[in-house]
């Protein structure tokens, strides 16, 4: 298999689990060096990075910071700069979610999701994009959600935060184009991560039937889409929103 990211260096947030964990492995497998972010120091995550380095003969460098803490973000970017590697890509993957009805969602929870899903990535993207501008190239991928597009019940705060990330990414796709930097958005549908473990079986069945393909997504599906957008194969793709959701339809219409 051709390594479509060979020689590139990618910063990925939220790689300790789920979609981000899969991204770190896929990108390394495609020949990229990876700055693999996690929120807290984690021996298991650090060991996983070492394993990927050994398996794929690339650098997989753990970097730890809280996306809700501007000072930690600033210090992490200094750490990244210290490695003297040209940054070719950024994936804003990390995020938090909390399902609750609009009238039952407290403002502290709204602020928490906006901090982690939008304000933190906004600041990080400002810093990392400046590094990309120096090299006159780069690709930024925002991992939003179909909840940002579809207005799902119980996801007013989460959907709003992911819609903000989407809007930011589309705006910078125009602003940064002159510097050779592309920016695109992936909107995953329901994806088989730890967040689904508490979902009742009957809800999972509804979710599967609500797609053309009749199943939920896998982290690998999202990671592969991101790898393509980061690669030179997508050199003429920018300012786009790509749904990776199995083809969402309305369950009621399929009965």
* Residue 4 domain-assigned (yes or no): no
Q: Read off the CATH number of the domain in which 238 is found.
A: 3.40.50.720
Q: In the prediction, which pLDDT does 152 show?
A: 75
Asked whether residue 226 is domain-assigned, the answer is yes
Based on the structure, what is the number of domains in the chain?
A: 1
pLDDT of residue 254: 43
Q: Which segments in the chain show pLDDT lower than 50?
A: 251-255
The confidence score (pLDDT) of residue 187 equals: 96
Domain carrying residue 70: 9-244
Q: What percent of the chain has pLDDT over 90?
A: 72
The β-bridge partners of 181 are 138
CB count in 10 Å sphere of residue 246: 21
The pLDDT, as a whole number, for residue 43 is: 94
Report, in this order, helix, strand and coil percent for the chain, each rounded to 5.
50, 15, 35
In the chain, what is the straight-line distance between the N-terminal and C-terminal CA atoms, in Å?
41
Q: Are 210 and 249 in contact (CB under 8 A)?
A: yes
Q: Is residue 255 assigned to a domain? A: no
Per-residue pLDDT at 114: 92
Instruction: Kindly state whether residue 109 falls inside one of the protein's structural domains.
Output: yes
- Is residue 252 included in any domain, yes or no? no
- pLDDT for 252 equals 42
In a domain, 112, yes or no: yes
* pTM strictly above 0.75: yes
Catalytic residue annotation? 158
pLDDT for 153 equals 73
pLDDT at residue number 63: 98
> Does the CA dihedral 131-133-139-141 come out positive or negative?
positive
Tell me the C-alpha distance between 148 and 185, whole Å: 11
Please report whether residue 3 resides in a domain: no
Residue 231 has a CB neighbour count (10 Å cut-off) of 21
Does residue 75 fall inside a structural domain? yes
């Amino acid at each position: 298999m051709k390594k479509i990211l060979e020689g590139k260096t990618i910063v990925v947030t939220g790689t300790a689990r789920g979609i981000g964990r899969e991204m770190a492995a896929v990108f390394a497998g495609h020949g990229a060096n990876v700055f693999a972010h996690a929120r807290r120091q984690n021996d298991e995550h650090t060991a996983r990075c070492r394993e990927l380095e050994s398996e794929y003969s690339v650098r997989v460098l753990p970097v730890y910071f809280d996306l809700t803490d501007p000072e930690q973000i600033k210090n992490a970017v200094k750490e990244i700069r210290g490695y003297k590697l040209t940054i070719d890509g950024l994936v804003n993957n990390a995020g938090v979610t909390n399902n609750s009805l609009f009238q039952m969602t407290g403002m502290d929870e709204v602020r928490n999701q906006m901090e982690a899903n939008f304000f933190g990535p906004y600041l990080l993207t400002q810093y990392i994009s400046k590094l990309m501008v120096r090299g006159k190239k780069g690709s930024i991928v925002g991992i939003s959600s179909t909840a940002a597009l579809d207005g799902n019940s119980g996801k007013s705060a989460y959907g709003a935060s992911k819609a903000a990330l989407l809007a930011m990414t589309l705006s910078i796709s125009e602003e940064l184009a002159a510097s050779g930097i592309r920016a695109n958005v992936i909107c995953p549908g329901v994806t088989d991560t730890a967040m689904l473990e508490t979902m009742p079986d009957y809800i999972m069945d509804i979710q599967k039937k609500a797609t053309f393909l009749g199943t939920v997504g896998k982290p690998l599906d999202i990671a592969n889409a991101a790898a393509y957008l980061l690669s030179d194969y997508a050199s003429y793709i920018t300012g786009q929103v790509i749904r990776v959701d199995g083809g969402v339809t309305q369950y009621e219409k399929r009965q």
